[in-house]
Structure 1
């Protein structure tokens, strides 16, 4: 192999570093330029740290039952009170954060990979390929995310893996659309045409020259859809399609709390606030990232 061929060969590691570098620069710019985005990021990081340290900082076993102290309000012994089975609410919140974060992050990561790949292929090749792919995406988008999630979880069964797959499936069309639009514009740009002239393969042009330029749009969509994923997981658990008890999940805790809300307000209040705070933090991050990519949006809103 000649030196010219070696230089022209794609370098996957360099492509990955380029994508990661673009993502970090864009995220750093958004955090430093928008105070509300920084607040959202701080809250999100704090929740992640608490979830990671849950086994070490939880005051009680999250599934240990003590019927004699059930439905107690906040006290020095149990800061957020106890539920119907006498389990410590604070301990269950800390452990439940793990499931909300894991399901939200993994489902959106899967949706980003699949949706971006589908949108990249559709936008790059165009023609009949684009028409067929986007018509399929339109059919999926016709269903509300929660309804489609309920259908998929009911069919697949309620488990962490199936919930992740169901939520990811509902988000794939959104990422396909957000990736397709800029790809259709970028494929006509001079640097892409230069790649054609130099004989670069379609894969090299797509993943080395086009994909890094759509990373900001994908990051914005991912942050906003992660909030949707958290809400969807909590909603599925609330209607009984979440992870089976006694595993602590925020949606499941809200459901148990509403069944006993007349006896103790804290059982439903604190998990509801936890979902609210996490979704708010993710929305603040998403809004800041959106303003960073298009400042006019923040000015006009």
Structure 2
């Protein structure tokens, strides 16, 4: 199991005034608000001067007014994870948790992320890019059932369809007709569903997700209390292999700071990379806190460490 170095700082004053960015107008608003409340309470409990800010426009106004020194980004999806926020803050010289413009923008787009992984020789299920108006039946026939259909740039299992055969494709076709963005169709992997949190240069212990239903949908993620989270999800060589793969996938996509890499273990093809989340959930059901706890890092300490990454290493010597 990987070791995590001790926190570099003990004085909350080193962080200055911290904006906890949450909410926003997107489809993941409620999850983000829930995550943000947890982060805000944890930072304040550690003595950090932290204030909530709802959405990027409100944050931009506050940054222009000079009200914050750094940002803890827990705005899931949309401008919180697509590089817009990161570019804005970079232009103003305000540090922000998580990945920068490149890693955020790339991994928000599942199709382009998979293209990068494929070019780097990293394993990911076969897929088809579906621009607006694409023929879903033809794409599914080319890939072979069963398949998943999902928006290329959404999260939290929003708009995801599990399609076992052609007769079950109708809801996805109806959704596609009304959806403005690109869709991703990928071969469904049959096997264990796993996720690996990343904290700095360390892969946290894997988590194997066992939903009570047939698959890990929005309800299983955020509502149900009967989803099982087994941590570590693997042992021995398999755990070492998935940790190395997750770190390689994270770095190939230009990510840094913290995040979460979702992986499936196919019964025949082994580990298959699914996607990266650069602002993972921090709710009571969320996975990165569960994995960090296995290394003795509680929720408040995790928030501290994520925020600590916004301070340059040389600060520790001051």
TM-score interval for Structure 1 and Structure 2 normalised by the shorter chain: under 0.3
Identify, as 1 or 2, the structure richer in strand.
Answer: 2
Identify, as 1 or 2, the structure richer in helix.
Answer: 1
Which has the higher relative contact order, 1 or 2, with Cα contacts under 8 A spaced 6 or more apart? Answer: 1
